[in-house]
């Protein structure tokens, strides 16, 4: 029940706070004033069916005796006229005499009435056309806005996709270039390593060869030393050991 | 018979009548018809009787005419008309989805008012949309104040029931659509 009450209150609030125009359109106001003026001037019941039925019934019941009285008066006047009428007139002569004056007196009134009638009809047609044109323009404006929004969105999507594609391609290019640089550096490091290894092997071999030569020479020197060494009783006085310069000589 | 300058009356009270009609009908053409019929009927009423409270009379007539049109549209094809004849309203800074939900809620309330009995619909609209007091409503509708209270109570109960039924229908159809799409 609480939820239903809230729904009703919320709906009422939406209905009250709907963005309604404060003023009626001027065309509607003008048309209403014109119809009110017509209704007041003609005295015809302007209300739709059902609103003035009581008035019509009242008029119908009061008109009947008045109609009878008027008919009796007309009949009485006709009888008096017949009894007291002068000699018959020449109708052609009378018509010819009255036509110019009648035409002169009626024509301006007819013209004015016709102009007024035409003006009212034009106003009604213009009011209807104004509302219709306004609605059509509103609809067209809305369609144009929607179309423009769709086109803008499509163009924005296309531009975004193109920029993303370019970004991805540039990233790929940079990655490929970096990989090539790394591969080239690794290759250079490998070459240096092989060269260093070769030089190291050659140096070690040379060192080993020289060490072997020195070792052979030292062994020969020791053998010569042992050969040259004799005790005091058994042999001559031993010779002194050769110095380093002498040892190095072949 | 009173003598009125109806041009001044239309210009002075036109906005009140227009808002009353437009709020209930939400349609330019219907509101324009209701506007004109209201003033023409007021002219006829002023010929028959002395009018003491002209704004009250105009609001009552506009409400009555608008409810009649709502009922007439309801008998024809209310849903289709309300969907396509809805007046565009500019409400800057409002989320379109919220605005659409608000319009749907207001349309549902209009439909429900159109289905109420005429007397209850008039009492409800005069009380809650035109902000008239019980005494003013009783004077305008020529009924007792107790009758106004009873009609208002019944109208609220019927509207709550109708709105809850519409919400249930909407939720069921929404779930059905989601199930089909999912």
Q: In whole angstroms, what is the distance from residue B153 CA to residue B122 CA?
A: 13
Predicted local confidence at residue B46, as pLDDT: 87
Instruction: Assess B44–A contact: CB distance below 8 Å, yes or no.
Output: yes
Inter-chain touch A18–B156, beta carbons under 8 Å = no
Instruction: Assess A242–B contact: CB distance below 8 Å, yes or no.
Output: no
Inter-chain touch A36–B6, beta carbons under 8 Å = yes
Predicted local confidence at residue A83, as pLDDT: 80
Inter-chain touch A52–B6, beta carbons under 8 Å = no
Predicted local confidence at residue B78, as pLDDT: 47
Instruction: Assess A3–B contact: CB distance below 8 Å, yes or no.
Output: yes
Chain B residues whose CB is inside 8 A of the A131 CB are 28-29, 32
Shortest alpha-carbon distance between residue A115 and chain B (Å) = 22
Range among A5-14, A177-186, B30-39, B79-88 with highest mean pLDDT value: A177-186
Inter-chain touch A32–B35, beta carbons under 8 Å = yes
Which one of B14, B88, B164 has the shortest CB-CB distance to A4?
B164
Instruction: Assess A56–B contact: CB distance below 8 Å, yes or no.
Output: no
Instruction: Assess A58–B contact: CB distance below 8 Å, yes or no.
Output: no
Which one of B14, B103, B110 has the shortest CB-CB distance to A24?
B14
Assess whether pLDDT exceeds 60 at residue B39.
Answer: yes
Inter-chain touch A46–B128, beta carbons under 8 Å = no
Instruction: Assess B165–A contact: CB distance below 8 Å, yes or no.
Output: no
CB pairs under 8 A between A and B: 122
Q: What are phi and psi of B88, to 5 degrees?
A: -70, 130
The per-residue pLDDT for range A166-190, each reduced to its tens digit, is 999 999 999 999 999 999 999 999 9
Q: In whole angstroms, what is the distance from residue A222 CA to residue A216 CA?
A: 10
Instruction: Assess B36–A contact: CB distance below 8 Å, yes or no.
Output: yes
A46-55, A138-147, A223-232, B77-86: least confidently modelled range: A46-55
- Across B62-76, average pLDDT: 85
Inter-chain touch A7–B43, beta carbons under 8 Å = no
Predicted local confidence at residue B95, as pLDDT: 66
Q: In whole angstroms, what is the distance from residue A25 CA to residue B35 CA?
A: 11
How sure is the predictor about B91, in pLDDT bands with cuts at 50, 70 and 90?
very low
- Across B163-176, average pLDDT: 72
Instruction: Assess A11–B contact: CB distance below 8 Å, yes or no.
Output: yes
Predicted local confidence at residue A58, as pLDDT: 46
The per-residue pLDDT for range A94-142, each reduced to its tens digit, is 888 888 888 888 888 899 899 999 999 999 999 889 989 999 999 999 9
DSSP secondary structure string, chain B? -----HHHHHHHHHHHHHHHHHHHH--HHHHHHHHHHHHHHHHHHHHHS--S-HHHHHHHHHHHHHHHHHHHHHHH-HHHHHHHSPPP---TTS-HHHHHHHHHHHHHHHHHHHHS-HHHHHHHHHHHTS---HHHHHHHHT--HHHHHHHHHHHHHHHHHHHHHHHHHHHHHHHHHHHHH-
Instruction: Assess B88–A contact: CB distance below 8 Å, yes or no.
Output: yes
Inter-chain touch B40–A39, beta carbons under 8 Å = yes
Inter-chain touch B36–A35, beta carbons under 8 Å = yes
Q: Which of A29, A34, A132 to mutate to test the interface with B (most CBs of B within 10 A)?
A: A29
Instruction: Assess A143–B contact: CB distance below 8 Å, yes or no.
Output: no
Assess whether pLDDT exceeds 50 at residue B82.
Answer: no
Chain B residue with Cα closest to A36: B40
Q: In whole angstroms, what is the distance from residue A18 CA to residue A16 CA?
A: 6
Q: What percent of chain A has pLDDT over 90?
A: 43
Q: For the whole model, what pTM was predicted?
A: 0.47
Assess whether pLDDT exceeds 80 at residue A244.
Answer: no
How sure is the predictor about A205, in pLDDT bands with cuts at 50, 70 and 90?
very high
Assess whether pLDDT exceeds 70 at residue A20.
Answer: no
Count CB atoms within 10 A of the CB of residue A139.
11
Domains in chain B, please, with CATH? 6-181 (1.10.10.10)
How sure is the predictor about B181, in pLDDT bands with cuts at 50, 70 and 90?
low
- Across B111-123, average pLDDT: 90
DSSP secondary structure string, A48-92? PTTTSHHHHHHHHHHHHHHHHHHHHHHHHHHHHHHHH--SPP-HH
Q: In whole angstroms, what is the distance from residue B42 CA to residue A48 CA?
A: 12
Instruction: Assess A33–B contact: CB distance below 8 Å, yes or no.
Output: yes
Residue whose C-alpha is closest to residue B131's, from A15, A141, A126: A15
The per-residue pLDDT for range A134-149, each reduced to its tens digit, is 999 999 999 999 999 9
């Amino acid at each position: 029940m609480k939820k239903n009450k809230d729904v009703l209150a919320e709906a009422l609030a939406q209905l009250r706070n709907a963005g309604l125009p404060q003023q009626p359109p001027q065309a509607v106001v003008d048309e209403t004033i014109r119809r009110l003026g017509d209704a007041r001037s003609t005295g015809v019941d302007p209300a739709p069916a059902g609103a003035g039925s009581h008035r019509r019934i009242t008029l119908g019941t009061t008109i009947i005796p008045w109609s009878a009285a008027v008919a009796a008066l007309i009949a009485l006047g006709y009888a008096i006229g017949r009894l007291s009428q002068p000699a018959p007139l020449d109708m052609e002569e009378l018509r010819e005499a009255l036509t110019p004056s009648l035409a002169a007196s009626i024509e301006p009134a007819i013209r004015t009435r016709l102009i007024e009638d035409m003006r009212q009809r034009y106003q009604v047609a213009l009011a209807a056309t104004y509302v219709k044109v306004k609605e059509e323009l509103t609809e067209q404006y809305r369609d144009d806005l929607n179309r423009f929004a769709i086109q803008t969105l499509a163009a924005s999507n296309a531009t975004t996709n193109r920029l993303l594609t370019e970004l991805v391609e540039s990233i790929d290019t940079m990655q490929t270039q970096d990989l090539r640089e790394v591969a080239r550096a690794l290759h250079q490091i490998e070459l240096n390593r092989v060269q260093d290894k070769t030089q190291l092997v050659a140096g070690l071999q040379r060192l080993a060869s020289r060490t072997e030569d020195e070792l052979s020479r030292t062994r020969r020197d020791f053998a010569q030393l042992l050969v040259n060494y004799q005790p005091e009783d058994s042999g001559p006085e031993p010779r002194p050991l050769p110095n380093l310069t002498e040892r190095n000589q072949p | 018979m009173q003598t009125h300058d109806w041009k001044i009356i239309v210009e002075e009270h036109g906005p009140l009548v227009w808002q009353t009609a437009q709020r209930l009908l939400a349609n330019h053409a219907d509101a324009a018809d209701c506007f004109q019929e209201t003033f023409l009927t007021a002219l006829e009423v002023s010929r028959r009787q002395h009018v003491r409270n002209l704004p009250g009379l105009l609001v009552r007539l506009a409400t009555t005419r608008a409810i009649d049109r709502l009922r007439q549209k309801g008998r024809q094809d209310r849903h289709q008309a309300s969907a396509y004849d809805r007046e565009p309203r500019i409400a800057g800074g409002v989320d379109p989805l919220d605005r659409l939900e608000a319009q749907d809620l207001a349309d549902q309330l209009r439909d429900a008012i159109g289905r109420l009995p005429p007397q209850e619909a008039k009492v409800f609209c005069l009380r809650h949309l035109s902000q008239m007091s019980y005494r003013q409503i009783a004077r305008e509708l020529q009924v007792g104040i107790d009758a106004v209270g009873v009609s208002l109570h019944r109208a609220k109960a019927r509207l709550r029931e109708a709105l809850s039924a519409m919400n249930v229908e909407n939720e069921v159809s929404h779930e059905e659509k989601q199930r089909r799409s999912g």
